[in-house]
Chains A and B, each alone.
Chain A
Amino acid sequence: MTYALELKDVSKSFGLVHANKDIDLAVSPGSIHGIIGENGAGKSTLMNIIYGMHRADKGTISFNGQQVDVRSSADAIEHGIGMVHQHFMLVPTFSVLENVMLGSEGGLTLSEGRATALERLTHLSTTYNLEVDPHALVSDLNVGQRQRVEIIKALKGGAKVLILDEPTGVLTPQEADQLFEILKVLRDDGVSVLLITHKLTEIMDITDTVSIMRQGEMVGHRKTSETSPQDLAELMVGREVLLEVTRTPATPAEVRFSAKNLGYTNSQGVVELEDINFEVRAGEILGVAGVSGNGQTQLMETLAGMLPLTTGVINILGTEVTSADATSPRIIRDLGVGHIPEDRHTHGLILDFEARENMILGFHDSELAGSGKLFDYSAIQQNCEDKMAHFDVRPSNPRLSAKNFSGGNQQKIVIAREFSANPGVLLVGQPTRGVDVGAIEFIHKQLLELRDAGCAILLVSVELDEVMSLADRIMVLCDGQNVGIIDAEKADRSTLGLMMAGQKAEAAT
């Protein structure tokens, strides 16, 4: 049979990194084909090659049995490829219609093509249930609606292959279900859907076939009906996965950290957090679960003093912080709070600084940088060497720039720095995002050790498995509100899933 899309021997490297190596892939017409792999496995690069955003160093790409040279996205679009990017490619200041028209305006002036574009848009939105107001400004749409615009854009030229890159990361389970319904209609209409994800459940739920990527290579192709999540997980990480973390029950002591009626409204007046209440005791981990973008980032940042609270009180080891107090990360840190930020590249590290300078980020005023007025680089070097040894950072070279460490080792630098300050309270965001499996286990073990040493830990993660295996209690955020807090022992996926969609804990159980 002829495949809608076929890749043979495709390779691509950036500098010295092999992002894709000898990739083979075949997608049948009218099917949903999943591509699964960990963060950094090379999925997005591969899709960008198919869509012409990057050029492959070698290998061939064929559409409907015809080998083609995709030099640009224009070529890809011409060959019937549509793509919905992970980060939406929409112009917020444009209307939906203008966004859809971009690239296929139908004439030198806009008036010529406007009517046909509107017609096409309406047609697509009725056929595939992609409801959206053509004249609304994109900046006024919510995430789900924006995604629909992206799909219409991808389909407008009559795409035969539709690529979706991590489309559910920003959706609630319901919105994701809606999306999957749309994809099924598309499949039945003869479109080949290529779904990129790192979530096993999605693959099992919706795809017909699946390909597995690991470290830039394609390590297997399966029929979804003939595989299991365990099988896929093993292929993804390259060995038996240890989803279970060995841990002892927590022995919570006094309340060290609490929030009452916490709220945050951003500068545009959007309420991002509302009425959040929780307490964390010494020696326990409170996990925060939720679909990404439901207030987790704002929660972490208000607690860390990076954003001002709008309402409520935070109590840190007996000191109260309210919206009336001028807070800052400095003040919170000095109260004894450690903070491992969600995104180590934008917050946790200065990528161009040496490891030893990163090891004093946030502590450059302390003894760690030397006891005198000026920096003492021998002290800074010593401090870094000690911590690198203790936390097994490799390579253990304090003079190496942070950007030259692997994701896992970068994260270990951040963890080493924050743990060593002996925090009474620790805020941890996405501790294992983009981290290799070996480092994940190490980091999990360190977190549990710190808990057992009596630290009160608040852990935010969009990986439900991580929250479930580490936390003692789980708080679920939806739309900036606390849906409920349940004991980790009583929590299962379906309960948490419903809570993540906004159902209260009582109703969910």
Chain B
Amino acid sequence: MLDFLYQTLLAFDATLRIATPLMLCAMAGIFSERSGIVDISLEGKLLSGAFVAATVAALTGSAWLGLGCAILAGITMSLIHGFACITHKGDQVVSGVAINILASGLTIVLGIALFKRGGQTPSLPKEDRFTPIEWWGVEMMDSVPVLGSIYRQLISGHNMLVYVALLCVPLTAFILYKTRFGLRLRAVGEVPQAVDSAGISVTWLRYRALILGGALCGIAGAYLSIAQGGNFVKEMSAGKGYIALAAVIFGNWKPFTAFFACLMFGFLDAVTARLEGYELFLIGEIPSQLMQAIPYILTVLLLAGFIGKPRPPAAIGQPYHK
């Protein structure tokens, strides 16, 4: 029984670690998509963030500088996206595809040029990474059954960026629903004409949404390469940006529901690794590939209206013409 509890706890712990970049990217996706810009470039921004974080941390020995530059990298990618589809009213999906491919190419080309390790960056020593933080009183709590383990495993013992991601969710909700910027952001994704006629710049508003999203993706990238991992490996984003996009859709473009979607997708992933090779009662062994495909399958079913009814922002995907 206790062993089962412990296993569950470990699964939740892994869920949180897997879901962290998803949460950050999903919040980025919410900012961007709520402003009316389709963001399939989450993947590319995440990848760029991961590369820049690892590279800068490796070159300077500072995780913080790595994080800062990853944020800048995410923002830069966002600005390219904005330049193409806000300033020049280009197709948002085409631009997103371009950014994802650009990110793949650039990270490998620059990685090889800088480090000559086939696209990887050097492994960072522990002190150059964001390492797990042990909270106060973990030793003390250990004596308490169950709660002690929960405190040690689930609440304490993550690196800083996990907590940043967790904070980002209520923060995004606050910005979206309680601030002037959020009101305007939600309006511009629904009826940009209304925003324009109220004397607010549609262009600048959408740029700001993209910049925020770029920064969040940058943090997510840094998490991959200098917090959870210790170096950059080519294509290390491995579709996480797309899963985050799926979570945004699954969460109906709302922060908290998207957060739960991220946790669900993270949990599926965490459980997959643990179920490999196990025979489940009555079901038998579930192929891990099926488990991995579940987020995608669910998103397809959701979009098709078989489970609930998604309501995307009304003006999404359309460039604004006066």
Contacts and interface: CB of A to CB of B under 8 A. Distances in A.
A93 B190 contact: yes
Contact of B199 (A85, A99, A103, A109): A103
A54 B197 CA distance: 11
Contact of B180 (A75, A92, A110): A110
B180 A74 contact: no
Given A53-B196, A53-B197, A105 B191 contact: no
Contacts of B45: none
Interface string B199-243: 111000000000000000000000000000000000000000000
Given A89-B193, A91-B191, A110-B183, A74 B200 contact: yes
A111 to B, nearest CB: 7
A94 interface: yes
Given A54-B322, A109-B179, A103 B200 contact: yes
A107 interface: yes
Contact of A102 (B178, B187, B201): B187
B254 interface: no
Contacts, number: 77
Contact of B191 (A54, A92, A98): A92
A94 to B, nearest CB: 7
B280 interface: no
A107 B183 CA distance: 12
Interface in A40-54: 51-54
Contacts of B181: 108
Interface residues of B, number: 22
Interface residues of A, number: 33
B282 interface: no
A102 B322 contact: no
Interface string A441-457: 00000000000000000
Nearest to A73: B199
A113 B198 CA distance: 16
Contact of A73 (B180, B186, B197, B314): B197
A109 B197 contact: no
Contacts of A236: none
A101 interface: yes
Given A105-B180, A108-B179, A109-B178, A76 B199 contact: yes
Given A72-B199, A73-B196, A102-B198, A89 B180 contact: no
A490 interface: no
B191 A107 contact: no
A111 B179 CA distance: 8
B158 interface: no
Nearest to A153: B198
Interface of B: 178-184, 186-187, 190-191, 193-201, 314, 322
Given A89-B196, A102-B194, 15 more contacts: A54-B322, A72-B199, A74-B200, A83-B197, A89-B193, A89-B197, A90-B191, A92-B314, A93-B186, A94-B187, A101-B183, A102-B187, A103-B195, A105-B183, A110-B180
